Structure formats: C-alpha cells, structure tokens
Chains A and B, each alone.
Chain A
Amino acid sequence: MSPRRSTSGGLIDRTRTVRFTFDGENLSGHAGDTLASALLANGVSLMGRSFKYHRPRGVFSAGVDEPNALVTLLRGGVREPNIPATQIEIYDGLRAESQNRFPSLAWDLGAVNQLGGRLIGAGFYYKTFMGPVIGPLKGTRFWMMCEHFIRRAAGLGRADYEADPSRYERVNAFCDVLVVGGGIAGLMAAEAAAKAGKRVILAEQEPVTGGFARWSGETNEGKQAHEWASNLTARLASLDNVRLLTRTAVWGYYDGNTLAALERVHDHVARTPKGHPRQRHWTIRATDVVLATGALERPIVFPGNDRPGVMLAGAARRYAAEFGILPGNRTIFFTNNDSAYEAAATIKRAGGHVAAIVDVRARISSAASELATAAGVSPLTGHAIVGTKCGKTLSRVFVQAYDAASGTLSGDARPLECDSLAVSGGWQPVLHLASQAGAKPVWDEEKQAFLPPEPTQRWAGAGAFLGTFGTVDALGSGRDAGLKCAGKRPSRGKLPEIAPEPLDLTPAPVLEIRGKGKAFVDFQHDVIADDVRLAHREGFVSVEHLKRYTTLGMATDQGKTSNVPGLAIMAAARGITIPEAGTTRFRPPYSPVAIGAMAAERYGDLKPERYTPIHDWHVDHGAEMTPAGLWHRPLVYAAAGETVEQAYIREAAAVRRSVGIVDVSTLGKIAVKGPDAATFLDRVYTNTFSTLKVGKARYGLMLREDGIAFDDGTTWRLGETDFLMTTTTANAGAVMQHLEYCLDILWPELKVHLTSVTDQWAGAAIAGPKARAVLERCVTGTRVDNETLPFMGIVHGEIEGAPVMICRLSFSGELAYEVYCAAGYGTLIWEALMEAGEPFDITPYGMEALGALRIEKGHVTGAEIDGRTTARDLYLDWMLSKKKPFIGSGLMDRPALIDKNRLRLVGVISLDGQKLGGGAHLVERGTPDEPGESIGHVTAFCYSPALQKYIGLALVRGGKARHGTRAYLSDPLRKRFGQVEIVSHHLFDPDGERMHG
C-alpha cells in the first residue's frame, strides 16, 4: 500500500489503520506506528527545517535523540510545538504540522539564510549589528531593530496564547529499587530485585518495554527477543511488588535519590478521559536506583550529512524491524564500527536493497564480513563518504579512499547512487542521569566513549549504560544490578541463551571526515564542523565556551547526537585528547518536559483559598472581596451604585457616628502556655508582659535581632500561665516560626508551648460610640460596663448560648471590642451582633474603612512596619523597655538607626482637596515636571470622614521636626502634584477620649 512499507514484518498491527494529517494532508498508518514511521511509510522524507539555515531535513533517528523531525501537534484546540515525530504515537484524528517554515515545508523563504553561509557562522552576531555611534539609531536602537527580525527568523514552532486545557497531576512514589529503562538489562534488574522481595518501580520512556530487543532480531531462549521481553514484562506486571510505568521518562536525578519522571498518560489517544490527567509528574524516592538507560548512536560528521534520507544506522534497523519500513530503495551504510553491518543485514532481510557498506576501517571482523555477505554486498573498507547530492531526496553520495589512522583522504571521489544513507559513528552510553546525580563521566579510549563514573548517590548501572553493548552483557549486568540493590551478591546462575553471538562494537576513532561543504555536528542548531574550528581559532576552546559560542548541544535534543562528535572535533583542533577537551555536565531534564506537568496539581490552582468562618455572610451581603495573603477579606460592602470610595467613607463614618462591625478572624492567634510563658513574652516583646494581670490585654511590639520592627499585636492574659497572642494577618506564619525558633534553639530551658489557634477562633470587632450598647443587647453571663470591662479588659460570656470572649481594645480609636468565639459559631455570633446592632444602624465595614479609621488614628500596619523602620521611626519608643533585654535590644541603638534624619512617621493632610495616593512621594520644592528630591513617601491614605479631608500617613525624613510645615505630594507615576501639610500622625482624637469613653 505505501511506498516504503515492507509487505510483512515489524511489530505494528497491520490490521488496524490509523488516520492522521500532516500539514493538512490526509495520511494513514498502523497501530503501533510513531508519526515518524508513519510518515516514512507514506514516503514523506521531508519533515522539518533546521533552526538557522532553514535547511530541509528528514527524520534522523527513531527515538528521543531526534534533532530534525520536530512538529507541532494540534490537539484539543491548542498547539504543542517542537515534539519529535519519533516520540509521537499516532491515533485516529491526530493533526500535526511542520514548523519553522514559511510559506510551506517544501518551499521556505527562510532558506535564504543558507546563502548567508559563512557570513553568519558561529558568533557572527557578536561582531555586528552595533549600529552607528551617533544619530537616531545610536545606543541600542539599531540592534533592537535588527533583533526584531532576528527573533522572527529564530524560534522553532509557534505557541498559542490560549490556556492549556489539560490537567496534570503529581504522584509521590516510594520504592526500594527504581529501574530506569525497560530494555533487557532493566527487565532483568527488576526481576532480580522483585524476586528478592523488594518494592520495584520500572520506568520505560517508550510505549512498550524491551528496548533493543524489539528490533534486534535476536532470539532469547529460542524465542524472538521481543517476545521474550514481553513475556518477562508480563511476569513482572503480575507481581504485587512491581509497578511498571511505560511512556514514562525519568528526567531528573536529584539529591537523596529523589528522581523525577514524566508519564505521558493520554498523549497516545485522541481524547483524555474526563477527570484524568494528560500527563503525570512522578516524584520517586528510591532507596536504590538501577540505571539501565542504554546507549545512543552517534553520527559521523561529513559534508552534506544532514540531507533528508540520511539517518542513523540503528534507526534504519529499528524502522525495518519494528515498523516494517525500509529506509529507501537503495541504501548505503557508512560506519566506523560493526553495528551498521547488523543493520544492513536487517534491511536486507526486510526486503530492502543494500547498495554499499562504506567503512572507514581498513580491516573488519569476520563476523562483520559474514553480515555484509548476508546483506548482499562486499564492504568498501578504508573508504569514507565525503559528500552527498540531493534533489528532493538524496540521490547519490561520494566516496573516497580514507586512511583512518592518519585521517587522510586519497584518490578521487566517486559517486554511488542511493536514495538513503545510514550512518553509524559508534555508541555512547546515556549517562545523563548519573551526571545529574553529581558524578563526572569518564572517557574510555578503548571504547571511544564516555563511561559511567563511580556513583555519587545510590545507583548501579546495567546494560549498554555501562558501555558493554551486547545482550549477554545486558542480561548479566541487569541481573547483578538488581541483586546488588537487593543487597545480594552477583549470581552465577545460568543466563538465557542468545543467538546470534553479539558483535564487538568498538569503533574506529573517526568521528569526522573533512571535505568541502557544510558538515553538520548539531543538526537542529546548524552548528557545522567549521563553526567548531572557528570557535577554536577565536579562542573559545573550553568545552563550555564552545557550547556557548556556537550553541552546540543547546537545541531541544540537548546534544544527544552532537555532543561527542563536537568534542572530538575540538580535541583534534587543539591537538589534545577528548577527555582533555572535557565533557559538559548534563542538567535536568534528560528530555524536555511539559511545564504544566511539573506544576502538576497546582496548574490552575496556584494557592489555596483561605476563608474566615463568616465568609459566606460577607459574600451574601454584597461584600467585594480582596486577597490578603491567602485570605479573602471584604474590601467594602458597596450598596448599589456606590463606588469603593463612597462605600468606605460611608462605612467609616458609621463607625464614628454610631457603630460598625468588621471580621477580624484573619489575625494570627497563638496560644502561649506554660509556667515560663510570661518570661518568654518579656524576651520576645519590647515591652513587659509579666506584669500584665490575668483578664487583661496589652499591645506589644516585636523587633528582629537587628533592631528593626517586626510585628505588633495585642496579647491577652487568660490565665497565670495562659496567654493568647495576636499577630498581624500577614505575619502570622513568620511570627509563629520565630517564636518556635526561640524556644527550640535560643531558650530550650523555658517551659512554654505554642499552638496556632488562628482557625479555632472567629473574631468580630465592634467599634463606635454605640458598641457597648450593642453588646449589652446580646451578651449574657457577664456585664460589659466600664467597670467590668475597662479598656484592655477581657470578659467571658455568651451570645445566643455560644461562649464568647470579649476584649475591649481599639484599632479604630472608638469605643471598641473584639468578640471572639469558636469558629463554628462565627456566623451565628456575627448575625446576633448584627441583630443587636439594628437599632443603631450597625454597619459592616471592610478593609478600606478599617484602613481609613486606623489612618485617622495613626496606627501602623505593614505599610509602615516595612522591614526598614525602627520603633523610634514609628514613635513607638515608649514601648522599648529599659528594664529588661529583649530580642533586638542588642543592636537597636546603632548610630545609623538613631539618626535624626531617618524616615519617620508623620501625618499628612491634602491642602488642595485632592486625593493623596499610596506610594506617592513628598518633596520640599519642585514642579510636576521637575519633581525634585524626595523627602519621603505616603504609606497609606484615605478620605477622612471625621476630618472631611484627604489625609495620609507618611514616612518623612526628620519626622516630627517637620510637623506644621508644608510640602508637596509628588506622584509622577499617576501624574499628581499638590500641596500637603505635614502634621502629627495622630490625626484624629489624639488624646484617645473616644476610645476610653
């Protein structure tokens, strides 16, 4: 049916046809196909365009290392760019688009960049685009103009602005042994560990386990290798102590043997079932890890090595054996090692035609010769490919005699006809996770590969990861690694028999053939061998400089194919060995991971919402809610048609006139109990609490160790050894942590217990001249008159049968009480207070009115206690006890902290009847356009219903010394400039008569 599909063979399900589109064209494949294999089957060889030169590219690999065939998936109405076609399982209705091309993949305007060639080699942009020194394009303007176009030419796929509709989730897993890689070695390791009773997780990035066994064509114990692997997998799956995860790439190896993995749960089906995640983020804490991550094939760098039709030999073999696809009608192999011979034999067996095997080595093993014979060719040894020719697809290659020892070419280049070329530059173990875990790979000259280092965390290697490339080794090392993790010795038990005998895959040390034309090292980023040499010429010789200067290895494939060849070329240029040239450190992730997957359950749910017990009442009564940390608090209860400003002025005025009620449940509340509680409070507060009488409350101030103000609040003495501390809403957590630190670390001898009771209590503050009258109407079990409940007194009673604790304290400056009850009665009590307040037109008020009332009184909050102000700056020095030391007393008197010219608290009054503005500055002189030097800033402002003016609090240089003077409010950001008077921060009722009345 399709031009490239062989008539039989492969592990795809030929009975099931799957329809999909690529660039709008309707195509089909079979169940078990990847997008890459299905496209190949349909004769599509052009799958992408490269990053810089926009060169046409075909698929190069068959797996995670794919540099070229990146596509954008269109799914559920959103775009997902840059997905390797080799990693996409096709499903009915799949839609994919090629990218980085305009107007079409076959005909791309960006390909004009190829003409730039040598002009735009590595690092060219550092040397130009600086623009003129003078004139309208001076400075950075010329560059920014160029950048506009460069940015549009760069980038790969296009992303949407539409929200990703997917769901992601996290799973925390624990196991004794995590096996990474479900090839033969991984399966054997998992089995050995599982049999020893260990809890095992096995993670395989492909949809099916087996790895190399899926396309090796070997037999294990007389069975086809892939069958053997799936039988073993089935046995493992049946065990209770084994969890098998396919489509799961372990991408990060973090400290403490914590590994991160991505499971592509529903990417392979058309629709994610409702309630299920698209992808799952696994955090796996394993006692031991088996790294059985296999090896990746390296290319050989030679001119024209990037043409569509050129692919890795192992990939050609896999397409043939696993997907029943032939790389072309005439395939040439080019190699420095024996593995390409197996690939050639596989192609032949699958019905393909092997036109030639070009081998840089002068001599080859007898096993390789036999395979060549099986492939129907006699190998062209001592030769190299020095060029390719390509129309729409590859049409011929050029070969020349080559001496591997000296790296020299001789004789004439002659053409060989072909439509596909399969290349093998040897194999490199996948060491990324070991490197992430903190160890540095070691170069092995004999094997011409980096090998795993000594472990720095608890892992053991197995299979090709170790640099031993054969099924026998994989079986043995896999089993031993599993046993080792189970705390057992290596086994001498018989291993399954393998046929045929594995080859020795040691390559000749040839990774580049130098000739005319662009020879690609990093395909995706278009880094050519000459770029590496240019970097060398310009002194960018360290491997990190090379990477950064040329962008080698920085593409989406992260250098999986380009890393070693790039190093080899640099080492050759410098005349040193590869290990002397260095290796880069691998960093997470091993393969790209959806950002949403790592956000997991927090995608769409960043932070939990925190509600007071009275929340629903607020919402039901028209409150506009505002975030305060994680809390939601009423901003205002605006009546119909009211603005926020009108609403808060009405609310605040009601408090001054009659009575208002505000929800203060969010205040931090900490139970401080124990025989040393009073001593403890004396140390953490600047003022004294040991003298406080039971049944009374006191306002307290805390400093940091450096003498800067930290937090304030009232603390109530409920019993001799029982205090209830309140903190600001914002600092509740920080204060708790600070107190726990003090008790655990500074003063472990103190017998004090702390418990957060913020959520235990609902709180309502009743404020205004009629506040007492309201309480009198609803409180039973206690009197609330001035004698029973004086300022800062506490009483216990009941409202509607529910126990309440009432403290007479005031933030608003009015006669005011805080009524606390158990949270479950919060709404009940609130409603009872509302009812009791009805005759007085009791008014619920929100944060804005609360703010206005405190500004009128000059009470400070987080806007003034901003981490830079001292108690003196806020004129709270009366709270600094001279009789006892406290946290912060040691350093609070440093010279710069007592300087007269510090920013200190004042009040300001608008003289032009206009609003002030939080964050506006104050200047002594200036104009709206020339604002002059700032002498301070407004921390908070409001319209004061009591004073009938716009007023504010400010931190101003010199503070009190400026009382009675005038200044200008300067707010260039909001284009406001106007005169203000600086006054005391006690703007209203400075003597507190209302509060004590």
Chain B
Amino acid sequence: MAEYSALSLLKNALSGNRDWKPAWRKPDPKPSYDVIVIGGGGHGLATAYYLAAEHGITNVAVLEKGWLGSGNIGRNTTIVRSNYLLPESLRFYEFSMKLWENLSHELNYNVMFSQRGVLNLAHSPGQADAFIRRGNAMRHSGVDAEWLTPQQIARKVPGLDTSKSARFPVVGGLLQPRAGTARHDAIAWGYARAADRRGVDLIENCEVTGFLRTGDQITGVSTTRGEIRAKKVALAVAGSTSRVLQRAGIERFPIESHVLQAFVSEAIKPFVDCVVTFGAGHLYMSQSDKGGLVFGGSLDFYNSYAQRGNLPTVEDVMSEICAMFPSVARLRLLRSWGGVMDMSMDGSPIITRGPLPGLYLNCGWCYGGFKATPASGYSFAWTIAKDEPHAINAPFTLSRFERGAAIDETGHGPIPKLH
C-alpha cells in the first residue's frame, strides 16, 4: 500500500484521485485469532497496532460494534498533556507524550499533534500552591513545566480576563509547553491503517454479545457476526465497560458511566494559540485548526449511556467560558455533543490482566483517555503479550482499591462523578 506523502498526494491529484486505496480492509472475521481486542476506538486500535508492531502478534482481530472510532476518540476536546501530580500518573502520561511526539511518523499518518502548550490558570493563592506542587512534581519527573505570572499570561493569551476586578482574578498559571492538541479522528484512523497494514483484521459492525468460556477461562466471544475464538480476549470499551463485563458475568465493577458534553463554536480566525483551562470552575478550551473554539466542562453528574446531555451543564460551561474570555460571549455555539465516560473510583484507569483468566482489561479513563491513547495501547499490548504489566501500567491494577492504593489526582475519593 502506498505511503502517504506530499509526493503521493501530487501523483494522485494528477490521476484525479482515482487511485487511492481504502485506508483499511474490511475483512470478514476468521474463526479464531491469537488475540481479540473488543472495541475499535482509539485504545483498542492502538493496542492492536502495538501487538503487531512491538510484539509481532499479528493474528489479531479488533471487533467494533459500530464504526471504527465511534466512541470517545471522536468525541473529546483533543487535549494532549502530561501535567499530572502523582508519580504513577506522571510516568504513564509522559510515556504517552513521548509516543505522541513521534506518532505521525510512526503511523505514516498526520495526527496533527500541535504542541502549542496547555495553560492551567490559578485563581487563589491556595490553588497556585497546588498547581506549583504539580508543576514541581512534573519537573522532578523530567517533564516540562513553567510557572507564568499574570503579566506573562496576559501577553500570551490576549482576550483572557486577567484584570484584578475579575470575580476570580488570575494569580498565575501552570504551563506545559510540550502539551497541546491533536486531530482526534486521525488517531483512530492512523492506528487503524497502521494495524491493518501489519495484518490486523479490523471488523466493524460486529457487536460482542457474549463470552465463550471453558470453566472460568475465556476462550472467545460470540458476536453478531458469529462465534470467534481466541487465546486472549482484551477489552478496550471505555464508556461501555460495565455493559460488556456483564456479558462475562461480572455484575458489579468499580466504574460508573457518565455523560460528558463538549462544545464547538463557529470557526473564526486564529483567536487563542494554546489550550487554556479555567481554575475557578471547570473549563478547558482550545481552538481547532479549522477555527472553532473547542471546549468542555464538567460531567452532567448522573449515570448515563445516552450520548446526550442536558441544559444546566451547557449553561454552566457557557458562563465559565464567558468569564474567562468576555469577548467570547458574542461568538456563537455551533454544535454540542455528548460522550459516555468510564468514571472510575479514583479518577485513574485500570489496565490489567483479568478479572477472569484469558481476559484483559483496559478501562476507567474518565475524561482523560484521549491523551493516553498511545501509552494505553502500548502498555496494554505489552500486558497481553507478556502476561505481565509494563512498568508504566503496573500501578493501574484493579486490586488497588482493595489495598487502599488509589491513584487519586483530585483527592475526591470514591465518588466517580467528581473525578
């Protein structure tokens, strides 16, 4: 299959773009595979890619209920960062960041990773201390972080209300310069194409309806396209984790599904050049290359599998973005959408073997799954291939709750909606 490049674009343009080939095949499922990955979202596709690319395991099927990338990979606000507090998170997300930095080349697919910086605004001395603690934790882990004064922030982000008369005046900001945004769909498509080229079968419109087992051992799945056997079955279905696990007989699990809304304004000329987050509430915002302001806030705060939210959250988010950027009040909201989040009990993911023999689990991404995609796929593939965790996902077990070893970035405890 052709490499993508400026040259191939030119060649194809000359032939009327008639020679482009499908980005991935549309194979029928085989009766059995070495590994089945359930979930054709970003994490599942990345897992399949790294199984093939890093471990030479190519007899792999990715089973997707709908179309590839139909879950949260295409419903997020596209932020990539590793500005975490706790050492476990820092190690994981910084590993991911390093993968991101070379991802377009690795996949021969421009994922448009734009390292334009993520700036967290602090609005009180206490919040500044907490952010500085986090920034220093980053620096001690070899991650880039800077502290900006309100004056520096005002220069960097015009239009931001940095006045002293603001309801919650900006007292400083934590900047991670290497953080930024990427084109969300491109991640799914890039991994899909790259996995497909290494022989992975990507099977769309194939819903898993049950698990095949011998005793406790999982030996395959039954699907809307027939039974498929596999030595190992891996789950990467954040948003639907509980639903799929219920089909394996696991009725209770430390996950709640919540709906998170996201928003985009009409396209305007370049307005803001980095990702900005509002500390006197909960809001994150950037501008897409097309020109729309892309932003989001808190969950709707109730369990939901509907990719649809309600009005109070919409209004809260709008009031916060206007407080941050008073000129944005005049711009118009173009579209909103909802994604279903796997909210875990400490706000951190679970990437592990189990909970049944033959089963592998990747879930609990809360809001943070997009940026994690490369490291998640990498470490999950490692865990599947070697039957032991990679160093970066070793702390993200299911048993951590039993031990009291929660990885709780926000300190909100076992109240999923607050993470």
Contact = CB atoms under 8 A, between A and B. Distances in A.
Answer whether A and B touch in the complex at a CB cut-off of 8 Å: yes
A713 interface: no
Interface in B138-153: 139-140, 145-147
A924 B116 CA distance: 34
A164 B330 contact: yes
Contact of B327 (A164, A558, A706, A868): A164
Most buried by A among B403, B413, B414: B413
B185 A548 contact: yes
B281 to A, nearest CB: 8
Nearest to B315: A598
B291 A595 contact: no
Interface string A848-877: 000000000000001100111000000000
A283 B168 CA distance: 28
B129 A534 contact: no
A548 B130 CA distance: 39
Interface string B393-408: 0000000101111101
A542 B40 CA distance: 14
A596 B310 contact: no
A266 to B, nearest CB: 14
A143 B186 CA distance: 14
B391 interface: no
A764 B337 CA distance: 49
Interface in A3-22: none
A602 B5 CA distance: 49
A863 B132 CA distance: 13
B135 interface: yes
B104 A143 contact: yes
A127 B329 contact: no
Interface stretch (B52-60, B220-228, B239-247, B267-275): B267-275
B137 A934 contact: yes
A592 B334 contact: yes
A606 B266 CA distance: 23
B323 interface: yes
A773 to B, nearest CB: 33
A478 to B, nearest CB: 27
B327 A159 contact: yes
B291 A438 contact: no
A753 to B, nearest CB: 25
A459 to B, nearest CB: 16
Interface string A585-629: 101110011111011101111110100000000000000001110
A542 B400 CA distance: 40
A972 interface: yes
Interface in B237-288: 265-271, 280-281, 287
Interface string A913-929: 00001111101000000
Contacts of B113: 140, 143
B315 to A, nearest CB: 5
B133 interface: yes
B336 interface: yes
A158 B159 CA distance: 13
Contacts of A587: 308, 335-337
A603 B268 contact: no
A530 B186 contact: no
A521 to B, nearest CB: 16
Contacts of B189: 126, 549
Interface string B358-390: 000000000000000000000000000000000
Contacts of A972: 136, 139-140, 145
B8 interface: yes
A51 interface: yes
B114 A140 contact: yes
A747 interface: no
Interface in B105-163: 105, 108-110, 112-116, 123-126, 128-137, 139-140, 145-147, 158-159, 161
Assign chain A's interface to a size class: 35 or more
A951 B403 CA distance: 35
Contacts of B12: 118
A271 B396 CA distance: 59
B26 interface: yes
A441 interface: no
A139 interface: yes
A598 B297 CA distance: 14
Nearest to A539: B22
A731 interface: no
A168 B326 CA distance: 13
A128 B4 contact: yes
A8 to B, nearest CB: 37
A157 B268 contact: yes
Given A127-B9, A919-B133, A867 B411 contact: yes
Contacts of B147: 973-974
A706 B414 contact: yes
B329 A82 contact: no
Given A706-B414, A918-B128, A973-B145, A558 B334 contact: yes
A843 interface: no
B331 A118 contact: no
Contacts of A329: none
Contact of A438 (B108, B134, B174, B308): B308
B70 interface: yes
Contact of A147 (B112, B130, B134, B336): B112
Interface in A921-964: 921, 923, 931-934, 937, 939-940
A919 B5 contact: no
B212 interface: no
Given A155-B267, A595-B322, 12 more contacts: A81-B266, A119-B10, A140-B115, A150-B289, A151-B289, A156-B266, A157-B268, A254-B311, A538-B20, A556-B267, A704-B414, A919-B136
Give the top 6 A-B pairs by smallest Cβ distance, nearest first: A867-B411, A596-B329, A894-B404, A155-B291, A918-B129, A919-B132
Interface of B: 4-6, 8-10, 12-14, 16-18, 20-24, 26, 66-70, 74, 87, 101-102, 104-105, 108-110, 112-116, 123-126, 128-137, 139-140, 145-147, 158-159, 161, 167-169, 174, 180, 183, 185-186, 189-190, 204, 265-271, 280-281, 287, 289-291, 306-308, 310-311, 314-315, 318-323, 326-337, 400, 402-406, 408, 410-414
7 contacts: A82-B332, A129-B112, A130-B5, A161-B159, A551-B290, A596-B329, A868-B411
